[in-house]
Amino acid sequence: MAFAVCFAKDGLRLSGSDRQLFWQSRFEKKSIFELLTEKPWEKGQIESDNKHEGQTLSLSKYKVGLRTIMAVSTVLFSLFIVAYSDRMLVSDWRNMPEPWLLWLNTGILILSSIVFYLTQNYSKKDLYERTKNGLYFIGFLAYSFLIGQLIVWYQLMSTGYYATTNVANAFFYLFTTLHGLHLIGGIYFWGKTTAKFLKKNNDKKDINHQIEICAIYWHFLLVVWIVLFGLMLSS
């Protein structure tokens, strides 16, 4: 009804032949139904829709892949954590000793996550040498963590703590193996990113994006390890 009044007012403002042409053009081009359902205030929205027609909001392939990996990994670790929490209530559960090297490895992983954060900022500021040194140092810390975990395994097995000895032992080796495999995957992408960064005439925007993706994944691995380590300490 409001539209009809406004529409009529537009026609009445004109006089004589102009008014006749106004109404004639309106009715020739549109039906009565179209005129009654017309919404002039939406013209701006229509123009905007036409302007952005065919365009979509999309994430980069790196972020899509990262989110998929993190989602699957979170579900996997959550299932094992639930199983661990239930199984430790059974009477045959025997706690494992916590080698001091596990604390050192945790500190190494925390430090590598901090360095990744700093390296990401250096890359955004186009500080080449600092970014390069940061990437190298991250690789050193990552390999140090893996070697440290292998030494922990050797220490435990040399004192008789095998995976088949007790359920708690089996869970420890399962958790550290799964986390280590995820870290190896992170090292692989770190290596690809570092190699791409060292190439001349590389795409700086793409490099910054890849370093950001690696950093997010590294922070995720740190959170997972802290949860697993805290769980094993509390048992």
| 56 in any annotated domain | no
| Number of domains observed in the structure of the chain | 2
Q: What percent of the chain has pLDDT over 90?
A: 57
21 lies in the same domain as 135:
no
Report pLDDT for 98. Answer: 83
Report pLDDT for 180. Answer: 96
Higher-confidence position of 27 and 88: 88
At residue 212, does pLDDT exceed 50? yes
| 184 in any annotated domain | yes
Please answer whether residues 219 and 233 qualify as being in contact, where contact means their C-beta atoms are separated by less than 8 angstroms: no
Q: What is the pTM of this model?
A: 0.73
Q: What share of residues in the chain are helix, strand, coil (percent, to 5)?
A: 80, 0, 20
pLDDT band at 224 (very low <50, low <70, confident <90, very high): very high
- What sign results for the dihedral spanned by CA atoms 48, 49, 53, 59? positive
| Tokens (6 digits) for 3 | 């539209």
Q: How far is CA 134 from CA 97, 117, 122, in A?
A: 34, 9, 9
| 82 in any annotated domain | yes
Domain range enclosing 195: 61-234
| Tokens (6 digits) for 222 | 């740190």
pLDDT band at 3 (very low <50, low <70, confident <90, very high): very low
Average pLDDT over residues 35-47: 56
Q: Give residue-wise pLDDT tens across range 114-150.
A: 999 999 999 999 999 999 999 999 999 999 999 999 9
